[in-house]
């Protein structure tokens, strides 16, 4: 799998739109925190999956391309 297979379309949404998408139980959305582990440990959104930008290429097979992905 290539990185472009997962991140082929990028839309920007507001925090309120993200909150609505995440609260809608019909949506299975992957929430990805792209900060480094120390930043993640200081606080992160509930249900967020840690995938630092520094290692995203190595871990991209952990992502499900059939699900919407929100990164922050």
CATH of the domain spanning 3-71: 3.40.250.10
Specify whether the CB–CB gap between 60 and 32 falls below 8 A: no
Strands (DSSP E) along 1-72, which ranges?
Answer: 30-33, 49-50, 69-71
Residue that wins the pLDDT comparison between 37 and 65: 37
Q: How far apart are the first and last CA of the chain?
A: 22
Residue 53 DSSP code: G
Lowest mean pLDDT among 17-21, 24-28, 44-48: 24-28
**Nearest partner of 70 among 34, 35, 31, judged by Cα:** 31
CA–CA separation, 51 and 49 (whole Å): 6
Q: Give the domain ranges of the chain.
A: 3-71
| For range 4-22, the mean pLDDT | 79
């Amino acid at each position: 799998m290539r990185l472009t297979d997962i991140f082929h379309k990028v839309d920007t949404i507001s925090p309120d739109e993200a909150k609505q998408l995440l609260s809608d139980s019909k949506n299975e959305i992957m929430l990805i925190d792209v900060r480094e582990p120390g930043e993640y440990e200081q606080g992160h959104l509930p249900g967020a999956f840690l995938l630092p930008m520094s290692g995203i290429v190595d871990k991209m097979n952990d992502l499900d391309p059939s699900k919407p992905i929100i990164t922050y």
